[in-house]
């Protein structure tokens, strides 16, 4: 399987006052010079401490939640790790805990 380098940037980081979500941001992926933006990436508090990252979701007509973006697990993990590191560096998150896709 061929691999490609993907550049990841965090844009429009905003603090949110919610029970579980504490930050919203956009994530820009650049692959072969083409930019893709994922709007509405969430950073959430995890019970017991820590942070989890969730890509955007939407509610279907029957009321279930689905992922708004379909990506390979490896790319999702890379995005989550990058976002968690960024949040730590900027002081938004104190502890790495888990990365997930809702």
CATH number reported for the structural domain that contains residue 29 in this entry: 3.30.1120.40
Instruction: Quote the domain boundaries for residue 68.
Output: 7-89
- For the beta carbon of residue 54, count every other beta carbon within 10 angstroms: 19
pTM value is 0.84
**Would you say residue 19 lies in a domain?**
yes
**Would you say residue 39 lies in a domain?**
yes
pLDDT at 66 over 80: yes
Number of domains within the chain: 1
pLDDT in tens, 14-28: 999 888 899 999 999
**Would you say residue 97 lies in a domain?**
no
pLDDT in tens, 29-56: 999 899 999 999 999 988 877 889 999 9
**Would you say residue 101 lies in a domain?**
no
Q: What is the mean pLDDT of residues 85-102?
A: 71
**Would you say residue 2 lies in a domain?**
no
Buried b / exposed e over 24-45, threshold 16 CB at 10 Å, is: bbbbebeeeeeeeebebbbbbb
């Amino acid at each position: 399987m061929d691999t490609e380098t993907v550049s990841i940037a965090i844009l429009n980081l905003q603090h949110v006052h919610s029970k579980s979500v504490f930050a919203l941001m956009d994530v820009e992926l650049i692959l072969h010079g083409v930019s893709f933006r994922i709007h509405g990436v969430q950073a959430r508090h995890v019970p017991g401490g820590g942070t989890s990252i969730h890509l955007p979701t939407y509610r279907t007509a029957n009321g279930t939640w689905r992922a708004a973006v379909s990506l390979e697990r490896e790319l999702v993990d890379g995005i989550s790790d990058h976002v968690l590191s960024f949040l730590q560096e900027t002081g938004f998150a104190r502890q790495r805990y888990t990365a997930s896709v809702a």
